[in-house]
A and B are shown apart, each in its own frame.
Chain A
Amino acid sequence: MNKALGTGMKNTQWFLPSTPSFPCSWDRSCQCNSSSCLKVPIFCLVKIVDILEQFLREGGLSALMWEVCQQQAQAASPELQETLLNKVVCLPDHLSNKLQGENLPIFLPQNYFPLLGTEIIQVLQRISDSLRGGLDCSISFVSQVLGKVCVHGRRKEILSTLVPCLTDLTKSDCIWQRMCWRLVECVPDRWMEAVVCGFVQTAPGADVLSRLLGNLVVKNKKAQFVVTQKLLLLQYSCPTAMLQNLLGYLALDNSRRFLLLKVLQELMETWASSSAVKHSPVEQQLYISKAILICLSHLKDVEIDSHRQELFTCMMEGMKCHLDSNLPRIRCLGMIVAESISSRINTDGPILKFQYEEDDETRELKSLLTQMLSPPSVISPLDEGRKDSPSAVTEAELKPGRKPLAAACAVSEEGSDSELDSDDDFIPYDMSADKELKKTKAPLYIRDCIEVLTGPEDMDKWEATMRVLETLIQRNTAATQEVSVELAKVLLHLEEKTYIDDFVELRQKALVTVTITDPIPVAQYLTSQFYSMNYSLRQRMDILDVLALAAQELSRPKAPGKNKPSSIQTPCIQILPGSDSSKDWRKIVDERIKSKTRRFAKGQSQVELVCAPNKFSSVAGHFFFPLIQNFDRPLVTFDLLGDDHFVLGRLAHTLAILLYFAVNTVVAAAMGKALLEFVWALRFHTDSYVRQGLLSCISSTLLSVPSDRLLEDVTEELVETQAWLADVAEKDPDGDCRRLALQNLLLMENLKKKLETAPS
Chain B
Amino acid sequence: MIAAMALPPPDPEFVLRGTAAPVHTLHFSCRGQEPEFPILFSGSANGLVQIWNLKTHRVDKTMDGHGGKSVYWVETIHGRDGLLSQGRDQKICLWDLAEGRNVVTDSISVDSVGFCRCSLLKVAQDRWLIAMPANDPDEVQVLELPSKTSVCTLKPEAGAKLGMPMCLKLWQPGFGACPFLMAGYEDGSVILWNLSMGKMLSRLACHQEPVMSLDFDSEKAKGVSGSSEKVLSVWSLDEQQNLKVHKTHELINSGISDVTIRQDRKILATAGWDYHIRIFGWKKVKPLAVLDYHTATVHCVAFSDHSRPSERLLAAGSNDQRISIWSLYNQT
Binding site for B on A (CB under 8 A): 414, 417, 419, 421-424, 426-437
Contact = CB atoms under 8 A, between A and B. Distances in A.
A460 B325 CA distance: 33
Given A422-B283, A423-B282, A430 B8 contact: yes
A440 to B, nearest CB: 14
Interface residues of B, number: 26
Contacts of B61: none
A431 B4 CA distance: 10
B3 A422 contact: no
Contacts of A423: 266, 281-284, 286
A431 B283 contact: no
Contacts of B124: none
A422 B331 CA distance: 12
A433 B253 contact: no
Q: Which of A423, A430, A431, A435 has the most CB of B within 10 A?
A: A431
B332 to A, nearest CB: 10
A431 B253 contact: no
A417 to B, nearest CB: 6
B252 A429 contact: no
Nearest to A432: B3
Contacts of B8: 429-430
Contacts of A426: 266-267, 281, 286, 288, 329
B10 A436 contact: no
Contacts, number: 62
A414 B282 CA distance: 13
Contacts of B276: 434
Contacts of B10: 429
Contacts of A435: 252
B7 interface: yes
Interface in B267-282: 267, 274-276, 281-282
Contact of B6 (A421, A429, A434, A436): A429
Given A433-B292, A434-B252, A435-B252, A428 B283 contact: no
Contacts of A421: 283
Interface in B1-55: 2-3, 6-10
Contacts of A419: 283
A442 to B, nearest CB: 15
B283 A437 contact: no
Interface of A is mostly: loop
A467 B252 CA distance: 20
Given A422-B266, A423-B282, A429-B9, A434 B290 contact: yes
Contacts of B290: 429, 431, 433-434
A427 B6 contact: yes
A417 B236 CA distance: 12
B79 interface: no
Nearest to B331: A425
11 contacts: A417-B220, A422-B281, A423-B281, A423-B284, A427-B288, A429-B8, A429-B10, A430-B6, A431-B3, A431-B290, A433-B290
A427 B2 CA distance: 9
A429 B328 CA distance: 11
Contact of B252 (A417, A427, A430, A436): A436
B220 A429 contact: no
A429 B267 contact: no
B289 interface: yes
A432 to B, nearest CB: 6
A433 B11 CA distance: 14
Contacts of A431: 3, 6, 9, 287, 289-290
Nearest to A421: B283
A427 B252 CA distance: 20
Please give me the 5 A-B residue pairs with the lowest Cβ-Cβ distance, nearest first. A423-B281, A430-B6, A423-B283, A429-B289, A429-B9
Nearest to A417: B283
Contacts of B266: 422-423, 426
B9 A433 contact: yes
Given A436-B253, A437-B253, A437-B274, A428 B292 contact: no
A428 B290 CA distance: 9
Contact of A429 (B281, B286, B288): B288
A55 B77 CA distance: 113
Nearest to B2: A428
A460 to B, nearest CB: 15
Given A422-B266, A428-B286, A430-B9, 19 more contacts: A417-B220, A417-B283, A423-B282, A427-B6, A427-B7, A427-B288, A428-B2, A428-B288, A429-B7, A429-B9, A430-B3, A430-B6, A430-B7, A431-B3, A431-B287, A431-B290, A433-B9, A433-B292, A436-B252
Nearest to A428: B288
Nearest to A437: B274
A432 B276 CA distance: 13
A434 to B, nearest CB: 4
Q: Which of A421, A432, A437 has the most CB of B within 10 A?
A: A437
